[in-house]
Amino acid sequence: MDLLIRDVTLLDGSIRHIGVTGNRISDIGPDLPTGEAIHTIDGTDMLALPGMVNAHTHAAMVLFRGYGDDMPLMQWLEERIWPAEAKLTDDDVYWGTRLACAEMIRTGTTLFNDMYWKVPNAVRAIDDAGLRATVSGGLISGGFLGDLKGEIVQLIEMYEAGEFPDRVRLSIAPHAPYTVTPEDLEWCAQLATDHDLPIQIHLSETLREVEECVEKHGVRPAFHLKRCGILDRPTTLAHGTWLDRDELAMLSAYPATVVHNPVSNLKLSCGQGREVRGWFDYATAKAEGVNVALATDGAASNTNLDMFEEMKFASLMAKHASGDPTCMPAAETVDIATRGGADGMGWTDTGRLEAGALADIVLLDLTEPTLSPMHDPASHAVYAANGGCVHTTICDGRVLMEGGEIEGYEEIRARAIEAARRVTGD
C-alpha cells in the first residue's frame, strides 16, 4: 500500500480508513487495511471527498483574471480579451495553465475539462502539475484565427501516437453553434466518431444566440446540434442557461451532460431577457433525467476556479429559480460537482470514493472556524466550506498538496504574472 488515510470522516458522517495502492483506492472501510503504508495521513478532523471535477474551463485564461471586470460581454471580449489573446505565446499558455492547475490543486479540483488554443503547452503543464484533464482545441469557423482544423487534426495524431500522459485525454471542441457553421459542426461530429472521442461545446449561454439560431436554422440550439450529429457522441454542453423543457427532454435520450456555470452566468448577466427565470433550469433537467455537471468556466469570466464556491452558487440558484429550498440538496450538489462531471467526461472511474476507483481525493480541514461544529458533512462541504479549507489534494494516488503547500508554486506564480503583464500591457 502506497498511501493510508486513517480515521477520516466521509460525506455520510462515518469514520473510515482509505488505502491507496498505485493510482487506485484499494481499500475503504471501518477496518484498517493490512500491510504497511509508505505514507500515512492522519485523517482525524478531516473530511474526505472525491476530487472536484470542473467540467468546463479555459485554464490559461487565469492570465486575464480580473482584467476588464464589470463590462458588457461583447465590449469586454473586443477591447480586452481578444487583443490580449492574440499576443499569447506557447510559454504563456504553459505558465497560465500551470497557475490554473496550482489554483485547482489549492481548492481541491483533480479533474477538469479544458477548451483553449496552443493545446500541447496545456498538456505539458497538466502533466507537470500532476492533475487529470480532458483537453481540446476550440474550433471557430472562418479561418481568421488561423488553421484551427489543422491544429485539431495534429492534436489527434499526437494523442493517437501516445504522446499524451495517461492522465490527459482529448476531446473535439467546436466552440459554439453560433461561431461554428453547420458544415463544421458535422465535420467535428464525424471526426469525433472516426477517432472515438467525446465532444465539448458551449450551448445556449445567452438569449441572443438562441434567437439567432431559431432565425437562421429554424430550431433551438440543442435541436440544431442534434441535426448536425454532435449529440451522437458523448458531449458536455457548457452553460445551458436558456435550454427549455423540450430541449432538456430531448437531451436526456443522448449521452449528453449539461454543465452548469452559475458564477460565470450571473457575472455576465447571461439570464437577462427572461422575466421570471433567467438561468439554467436545474429542477426541469433533473426531472427529465439529464446528467448535470458543474464548472467555473474560465477565470476571466468567473474570476476564480473554486468549485466549492461554485457548488454553493449552483444550489442557491436552483433553490431561488424553483422557489423550492429542498431543490438541489447538499449531497446532490456534491454528486453533481464530482461524479456528474466525471461521468459526463467519460472518466467513469473517478469522481467517487470507492474501492477500485482512481485515487483522486481531497481532504477538508474540519478545524477551520467555518467548518466548526459539524452536524452534516454534505451541508458543510457545499454551504460553509470554500476552496481555502482544502488541506490535502491527491490525484492519481499522488499527494499534490498537503497542508496547503504546492511544489514549485513561487516560480509558477512569478512566470504567470510576467506573462499576464506582457499580454495585457498592464
209 or 297, CB closer to Zn ion?
297
> Which of 231-249 are b and which e, b meaning 16 or more Cβ less than 10 Å from the residue's Cβ?
bbbbbbbbbbbbbeeebbb
92 or 297, CB closer to Zn ion?
297
297 or 396, CB closer to Zn ion?
297
Minimum CB separation of residue 61 from Zn ion in Å reads 9
Contact positions with Zn ion (CB under 5 A) in 113-142:
none
Cβ atoms of 176 and 156 closer than 8 Å? no
265 or 392, CB closer to Zn ion?
265
Minimum CB separation of residue 414 from Zn ion in Å reads 27
- How many residues touch Zn ion under the rule CB under 5 A: the total is 1
Angstrom CA distances, 289 to 52, 133, 188, 292, stand at 22, 26, 26, 9
User: How many of the other CB atoms lie within 10 Å of CB of 160?
Assistant: 12
Minimum CB separation of residue 58 from Zn ion in Å reads 6
Show the binding pattern over residues 259-298: x = contacts Zn ion (CB under 5 A), - = does not.
--------------------------------------x-
Choose among 318, 332, 208: nearest CA to 260: 318
16 or 239, CB closer to Zn ion?
239
Minimum CB separation of residue 297 from Zn ion in Å reads 5
CA–CA separation, 400 and 110 (whole Å): 10
Minimum CB separation of residue 155 from Zn ion in Å reads 19
Q: Which residue is nearest to Zn ion (CB)?
A: 297
173 or 381, CB closer to Zn ion?
173
CA–CA separation, 349 and 22 (whole Å): 14
Choose among 41, 43, 44, 37: nearest CA to 22: 37
The bridge status of strand 291-294 relative to strand 361-365 is unpaired
- Residue 389 DSSP code: G
Cβ atoms of 293 and 258 closer than 8 Å? yes
41 or 170, CB closer to Zn ion?
170
Contact positions with Zn ion (CB under 5 A) in 296-325:
297
The answer to the question of residue 209 lying near Zn ion (CB under 5 A) is no
267 or 398, CB closer to Zn ion?
267
Cell of 6: 486513517
Triad 6, 54, 394: Cα angle to 5°: 25
5 or 76, CB closer to Zn ion?
76
Residue 75, burial from CB neighbour count under 10 angstroms (0-12, 13-18, 19+): exposed
Cell of 384: 460553509
Minimum CB separation of residue 56 from Zn ion in Å reads 6
Beta carbons within 8 Å of 206's beta carbon, 6+ residues apart: 73, 241, 242, 270
45 or 297, CB closer to Zn ion?
297
Minimum CB separation of residue 300 from Zn ion in Å reads 9
CA–CA separation, 413 and 73 (whole Å): 28
Minimum CB separation of residue 143 from Zn ion in Å reads 21
Minimum CB separation of residue 45 from Zn ion in Å reads 37
Minimum CB separation of residue 413 from Zn ion in Å reads 24
Residue entry with cell 447571461: 270
Residues of the shown chain interacting with Zn ion in the complex, contacts defined by CB under 5 A: 297
